[in-house]
Amino acid sequence: MGKISVFTGQKSGVRKAVFVILTVVLLMLCACGRTDMEKDMTAQTDQKSEGTGNIENIGNVQNADAADADNKAAKTLENMAENFVLIPGGTFQMGSPEDEAWRSEDETQHMVTVSDFYMGIYELTQAEYQEIMGENPSNFSGDDLPVENITWLDAIRYCNARSEKEGFMPAYTIDGQTIVWNRGADGYRLPTEAEWEYACRAGTVTPFHTETSISAEEANYYGHYPYEIENNYFSQGNLTTKPGQYRQTTVDVDSFSSNAWGLYNMHGNVGEWVWDYYGEYGTEAVTDPIGAETGTLRVYRGGGWNDFAKNMRSAYRATLAEDKGSFNIGIRLVRGIAGGSASVMSAGTQNASSSGGKVLIVFFSWGGNTKGIAEEIQSQTGADLFEIELVNPYSDDYNTVLDEAQRDQNEQARPELANHVEDMEEYDTILLGYPNWWASIPMPIASFLEEYDFSGKTIIPFCSHGGGRFGQSLTAISKLAPDAAMGEALSVHYSGGNSLPEDVSAWLKENGIIE
């Protein structure tokens, strides 16, 4: 689907009136010009707004009072940058229905109204970031690739720096870890979580704005794992979308087709930071929500190049600490056109990392790869080692355990643990290891994280994988242990090979475990 005008979808009454007037004019004209004018009229009358089934009371700019619209445009957003599009405000159901496959409990549906705002058609590119900030932290390299590996705080600083360069009022006041958002400012900013989902859906109520099970020809993701592959891995006849290409990299920001509002790569390529702290949704209708008042995690949306399709759904909520970046997280800018004068304070409530103290290596391993990594870590640190064991272990058969793992993950099961850490209080740092199962943590890790209080502790994950790196495992850990700080994680391809000792050593030094 190519770009479309945001001014499509006029009310039928206006169309009829326009048609009547033009018909009278046409009757008065000579026949030589009639055919072309009728063709033009047909094109206008047949034009339809795509994907608006989930939106109520959308403000249509063409049908608004002309003087009011002109005044708003002149006074609020002068010199709108190229490649921004108006997202007309409206009301929609945010979250996912209870019968949506692979939904999470934090996606409670509720009615949300958002005001008009402008949004970047594309994810922010590396060239755009480099021009303003004078650096490019991205893992991949290319002017037209999305910038990634930036923290939420980096994104806030970029918004202000670009606003100042282009002569707009910065949206944020930055004082150390305290960020104040001036909602009346006309500068660049991050979207709220509600604005992001509203813009992504573009009127749809399905898991993806494509209204189908999204394919690797429609988005950049871990294409080997399309939507609902987990239940159909060995017999794929029931899959709407078959496995496709896994590119293992970001792609240019104008790749693939846009959604109905002309926005590219809302699903996949890189996840996109939003303003909000992570917190539970309410059930009551709200207008222009800005997320939880306080928190330890920020939300990012949309999924990235290494995510399974289930984690690119319009309603899926990923999280990370605001001072952490990742190779699959970038940003998309917005500017508000009707923001009020109220300011919102973000008090900088990241969890403090514990320093020194005793280190515990905890791991769950099925095939032995994670155990091998844990043992290498112990050889370099001398730390205590604890292997998570189950009362009812998973099958030794690979095909069977795949099915058992996805079943437990889908049900969010908590397998009973056969052993326990006797004195968790004496440890300050937990090095937590696991295999990447179905793009997340194995459920025994969830059982472990829910058993103890990790407040004031630091969790440093290490993960064995077959190509998807961490998947969404870091989000899963951060949601289960929100009061713990998270260190820099390590992903190891299968057993790590000959470079494992060197890789582990560099990771331990990065986290201050060894010198």
- Tens digit of each residue's pLDDT (9 = 90 or more) over 485-513: 999 999 999 999 999 999 999 999 999 99
Mean pLDDT over each residue of the chain, to the nearest integer: 86
- Tell me the average pLDDT across 40-68: 35
Per CATH, the number for 51-350 is 3.90.1580.10
The first and second tokens of residue 242, run together, are 């078959």
Q: Report the C-alpha gap between 286 and 453 in whole angstroms.
A: 33
**pLDDT > 70? residue 399:** yes
Nearest to 150 by CA among 123, 113, 177: 123
Choice among 67-71, 312-316, 444-448 with the minimum mean pLDDT: 67-71
CA dist 388 → 94, 322, 373, 420, 492 (Å): 37, 30, 15, 8, 19
Nearest to 87 by CA among 226, 259, 250: 259
Q: Please tell me the predicted confidence (pLDDT) of residue 350.
A: 54
Nearest to 407 by CA among 420, 395, 417: 395
The SS3 of residue 413 is coil
- Tell me the average pLDDT across 166-175: 95
Report DSSP letters for 68-92, one per residue.
Answer: HHHHHHHHH-TTPPTTEEEE--EEE
* More confident call, 67 vs 165: 165
Half-sphere exposure of 55 (CA within 13 A, CB side): 26
The partner residues of 287 in beta bridges, in order of sequence, read 113
Say yes or no: domain 358-510 is CATH 2.60.120.330: no
- Percent of the chain topping pLDDT 90: 78
- Tell me the average pLDDT across 454-468: 97
Choice among 5-9, 128-132, 259-263 with the minimum mean pLDDT: 5-9
Q: What is the pTM of this model?
A: 0.83
- Distance between alpha carbon 512 and the CA centroid of its chain, in Å? 29
Q: Please tell me the predicted confidence (pLDDT) of residue 340.
A: 56
Spell out the domain ranges in the chain. Answer: 12-46, 51-350, 358-510
* More confident call, 284 vs 351: 284
